[in-house]
Amino acid sequence: MVIKWVRVPYAVALVIAGLIIGLSKVLPPVSMTPELVLLIFLPALLFEASWNLDIKALRRDWLSISVLATVGAIVCMFGVAAILHFAGGMDVPTALLFGAMVSATDPVSVIALFRQMGIDKRLTMILEGESLFNDGTAVVMFQMMLALIISGGQFSIAHTTSSFCLVVFGGAFLGAVIGYIASRITSAFDDHLLEITLTMVTAYGSYLVADYFHVSSIMAVVAAGIVVGNYGSRTGMSATTRLAVNSFWEYAAFLVNSLLFLLIGLQVQLPLLLKYANLIGLGVLAVFAARLLVVYGICPFVSTEMSPFVRNRQSRGNPLCRASIRKRRASLMAVIEESKDWCALLSRWVLG
């Protein structure tokens, strides 16, 4: 409730609250394990966002979204890595790993600002679509970079590209199939409690099944959410049931998001934060510089007369660049590494 009077995003307020709680030792130490974050938090966040994604708007701007979510994420990774390597003296493999961590965007704060300012809904759709799909790109890049570092193997463009396509498109196909099956099942009954449960099983089940088959779990959840949200909810759910399911996932996403940001604050170690303050500052600047490169370097090529990027004089700066503030998903990948060195610390601090 404090943030109603203090004009800061609630996510930042939760991180600060977690930091204060951690420093005051009010609670016993809490650790963010990969299992907790990836299995409990991530499917709920992804399914809620994809459930509300309009497939018609997605088809209209598929070129912009797909280019920004793939080429944009890759350019951002290499841009951040180059700055940290040449300006910060970081070795190339670690710089690429960190670049992959922060290449995904989270436009929650920007979209909230859009609603206040009355920005065109199409630009909001592009931001949300890019955020969803570049999650899959960023996680796959992170896992590949981490595997190369651990194995010490040689980098092969052909092998890396084929592996990337297999993981991403395989996950999307598997998720779409699971979403279609769930959509057919939901048409067999009309009970809001059962259908809420079915959507939960779809969200977490698609994640687990994709992980079992070694394809992108993130793309599987996103694809399943899009299919159920655009097909299953319209063909197999009544208006009352859709309202109940929407309310459930809206609250679930808010609760998970709040807990996640609070846990991020609890993980920050002040001595390390002060020790590597200069490198952290450089990392923040590298993220913004790379995002500027993506937005102003790629957007002109995907903006056409028939489908131009919206420009609004009320907005200050490019909103696509503002969405470069890295939050929850960079922390998810940082936790996978389970590292307390400066790279993990840097990634967590850039979040807020």
What's the CATH code, domain 33-351?
1.20.1530.20
- Stronger pLDDT, 285 or 122, i.e. the higher one: 285
Which range among 133-137, 143-147, 323-327 shows the weakest confidence by mean pLDDT?
Answer: 323-327
Q: Which of 43-52, 57-66, 141-150, 300-309 has the highest mean pLDDT?
A: 43-52
Tens of pLDDT, residues 169-179:
899 999 999 99
Beta carbons of 76 and 290 less than 8 angstroms apart: yes
* Nearest alpha carbon to residue 328 among 41, 31, 16: 41
As a whole number of angstroms, the distance between CA 106 and CA 54 comes to 18
* Nearest alpha carbon to residue 299 among 291, 59, 109, 54: 291
pLDDT at 6 over 70: no
Give the other-Cβ count within 10 Å of 35's Cβ.
Answer: 9
pLDDT of amino acid 9: 63
pLDDT of amino acid 80: 93
Percent of the chain having pLDDT more than 90?
Answer: 22
Tens of pLDDT, residues 19-74:
777 777 777 777 777 677 778 888 998 898 889 888 888 888 888 888 888 888 89
Tens of pLDDT, residues 228-265:
999 998 888 888 999 999 999 999 988 888 888 788 77
pLDDT at 335 over 50: no
- Stronger pLDDT, 296 or 107, i.e. the higher one: 296
Burial of residue 311 (CB within 10 Å: 0-12, 13-18, 19+) is exposed
